[in-house]
Amino acid sequence: MERRATWGWCSRDEEGFKLIDDPVTFEVVKNALISVAREMSQALRRSAFSPNIKERRDCSCAVFDEAGRLVAQSKDIPVHLGAMPLSVKSCIERVGEEMLDGTMALVNDPFSGGSHLPDLTLVAPVFRNGERVAFVANRAHHSDVGGISPGSMPGLSTTIHDEGVLIQPRIVVQKNQLVSDSVQDLLSQTRTPEERLGDLSAQIAANIVGVRRLEETAQQNSWETVLRTTTDLRRYSAEMMRKALMEYSGSTGEFTDFMDSDGAGTWDIPVSVEIRVEEDSVVVDFEGTSEQVLGNINCPIASTLSSVYYVFIALLGEDIPTNEGCWSCIDVQSKPGTLLNPKWPAAVSAGNVETSQRVVDSVMGALAEFVPRIVPAASQGTMNNLSIGGIDPRTSRPFSFYETVGGGVGATRGHHGTSAIHSHMTNTLNTPIESLETEYPMRVLRYIIRRGSGGSGRWRGGDGIIREIEILGDDCSVSIQSERRNRGPWGIRGGKEGQKGKNALIVGEREIELQSKTTVKVFAGSVIRLETPGGGGYGGGSEEPPSDSIPT
């Protein structure tokens, strides 16, 4: 007789099948580990300096085993969480011998497990009687880490050096205190060093909380129980994912979607994928995807992996705890030197935030060929990244503002898409108007739902957002990294595509359309308007949508 969850789970190992000896303890410790990550996340947000972290919650926290494998995570940012294990493993490989009790390692290198340069990952070891047995880590998006434009998210960058300070794994914390000399390159190049120090201090505090709570969990349950549970938990999730895949054994699907541009003159850049389910595993092959490009939409392999894992967990992983076991049966193939696995010194700042969304769209499009009833229409497919920086006339000091703007979610069978929220690889909040206007020399003129922008169908796509911001400082820089300005998000099974997004600069009576990737100089009184895409619709006019596939 089949029983769900831990109460009758069998894990596969070299000796065959083995039942969990104590499912009650397993469940208690599993939830304790998840709670460790969640409390870390709360501590990070509450103690952060920048609105991007404390208000928008652009950060993630997780617990890892002694090999750097993900054990438990908070419900934070998908593009962070699937990618963080590579950062932790990179730190173990590069500076593992230096990672002693009370130390922490910092990394943001996209070619050493990082995503893009503003995402700083801080890793702390956890010890039992002098033996390193686990790690806790957090990743936070810093609003400026140097580079050619404020916010470190330029509309056009052609090498990683344009995008800010690159930090390969290094020890930056000793005795739980930041060693300022170890991050002097960051502090000397960022436009807002005090804010960077504040946010780094918050990251240190979050890891200290994580270490203490993990130690308390071990005191309550014993380290032997905790460590055994981390192994059982990974095997449990792997077995559940294999079981979910077995239903589609032998199935295949292909799909190609396109990036608008790389910001450097290349347009309609393909993201192609073929998915092959082989018994209880799956191959996700990106053969046919573009070579790496000159502009900054190259997606680091960590972000590519995270995007693929997210899709399978979201669609097939209901009730499966998220950890490294979930993707142990997912083989992602992407050649070095391509858009989804670029080589140094490729520019990548938009790859993590924009191309990752297109990876999701492509993988979902391929899955729709053999699991159509659970695949939604495309959501907005962009994070609508907006960076503004300059001199604050109120303080005569530099400022750097960064946010992403929500849009429409794709409809699903039986449900209209949600309007005006973030979707897929991002899970942040908005920057509240009160916070934005207090912290920065800007005024929000309009912030409304973009009515009617969702795709029509039996179930409608969600609507996007219109956000207008007036800039009150002179000689400011505005950078936009966005997508779905040339093609709307696709509908599915007869549903129509959502409306494309629009970017505009308004100066007096003039309205100037801006490209999807751009950096412009503006003066006081200028207005930036983003109109974000709506989600795709699902189905034709009947209750049971037609069976036609997604248009390519």
pLDDT tens figures, 315-361: 998 889 999 999 999 999 999 999 999 999 999 999 999 999 999 99
Q: Residue 10: what pLDDT? A: 41
> Can you say how many angstroms the Cα of residue 241 is from the centroid of all Cα atoms in its chain?
21
Q: What percent of the chain has pLDDT over 70?
A: 94
Q: Residue 77: what pLDDT? A: 84
Lowest average pLDDT, out of 22-26, 106-110, 384-388, goes to 22-26
Confidence of residue 265 (pLDDT cuts 50, 70, 90): very high
Q: Residue 315 corresponds to which tokens in the numbers above? A: 């669609």
The size of the chain, in residues, is 552
Q: How many CB atoms lie within 10 A of CB 94?
A: 18
Q: Residue 6: what pLDDT? A: 34
**Are 200 and 180 a contacting pair, CB within 8 Å?**
no
pLDDT digits (tens, 9 = 90+) for 437-469: 999 999 999 999 999 999 999 999 999 999 999
Q: Residue 440 corresponds to which tokens in the numbers above? A: 């920065």
pLDDT digits (tens, 9 = 90+) for 470-504: 999 999 999 999 999 999 999 999 999 999 999 99
For residues 59 and 139, give the distance between their C-alpha atoms in angstroms, rounded to a whole number.
5
Q: Residue 20: what pLDDT? A: 63
For residues 300 and 296, give the distance between their C-alpha atoms in angstroms, rounded to a whole number.
11
Q: Is the pLDDT of residue 2 over 80?
A: no
pLDDT digits (tens, 9 = 90+) for 28-70: 999 999 999 999 999 999 999 999 999 999 999 999 999 999 9
Q: What is the DSSP code string of 364-396?
A: HHHHTTT-TTTPPPP------EEEEEEEETTTT
Confidence of residue 541 (pLDDT cuts 50, 70, 90): low
The DSSP letter of residue 324 is: G
Beta-ladder partners of 333: 285
Q: Residue 446 corresponds to which tokens in the numbers above? A: 């309009």
Domain ranges of the chain: 5-236, 376-552
Q: Is 231 exposed, middle or buried (0-12, 13-18, 19+ CB in 10 A)?
A: middle
For residues 459 and 217, give the distance between their C-alpha atoms in angstroms, rounded to a whole number.
46
Lowest average pLDDT, out of 11-20, 197-206, 273-282, 439-448, goes to 11-20
Q: Residue 81: what pLDDT? A: 76
**Rounded mean pLDDT, 72-101:** 91
State whether residue 427 is helix, strand or coil.
coil
List the alpha helices (DSSP H) in 126-179. Answer: none
The DSSP letter of residue 64 is: E
**Rounded mean pLDDT, 376-398:** 97
For residues 91 and 67, give the distance between their C-alpha atoms in angstroms, rounded to a whole number.
11
> Starting at the edge strand that comes first in sequence, how are the strands of the sheet with 502-507 ordered?
442-450, 464-471, 527-531, 502-507, 510-514
For residues 143 and 287, give the distance between their C-alpha atoms in angstroms, rounded to a whole number.
35
Distances (CA, A) of 541 to 453, 538, 545: 18, 10, 7
Instruction: Choose among 410, 423, 448: nearest CA to 537.
Output: 410
List the alpha helices (DSSP H) in 417-531. Answer: 433-439
For residues 114 and 228, give the distance between their C-alpha atoms in angstroms, rounded to a whole number.
29
Average pLDDT, the chain: 93
Q: Where are the beta strands (DSSP E) in 131-215?
A: 131-141, 170-174, 177-178
pLDDT digits (tens, 9 = 90+) for 401-437: 999 999 999 999 999 999 999 999 998 989 999 999 9
Q: What percent of the chain has pLDDT over 90?
A: 90
Q: Is the pLDDT of residue 11 over 90?
A: no
Q: Residue 8: what pLDDT? A: 36
Work out the end-to-end distance of the chain between its first and last CA atoms, rounded to an integer number of angstroms.
43
**Rounded mean pLDDT, 235-247:** 94
Instruction: Choose among 500, 552, 549: nearest CA to 375.
Output: 549
pLDDT digits (tens, 9 = 90+) for 111-150: 999 999 999 999 999 999 999 999 999 999 999 999 999 9
**Are 196 and 188 a contacting pair, CB within 8 Å?**
no
Q: Residue 139: what pLDDT? A: 96
Q: Residue 17: what pLDDT? A: 38
**Rounded mean pLDDT, 158-174:** 98
Q: Where are the beta strands (DSSP E) in 175-251?
A: 177-178
> What is the residue type of 483?
E
Confidence of residue 12 (pLDDT cuts 50, 70, 90): very low
State whether residue 162 is helix, strand or coil.
helix
Q: Is the pLDDT of residue 13 over 80?
A: no
Q: Is the pTM of this model over 0.85?
A: yes
Q: Where are the beta strands (DSSP E) in 142-187?
A: 170-174, 177-178
Beta-ladder partners of 338: 291, 341
Q: Is the pLDDT of residue 550 over 50?
A: no
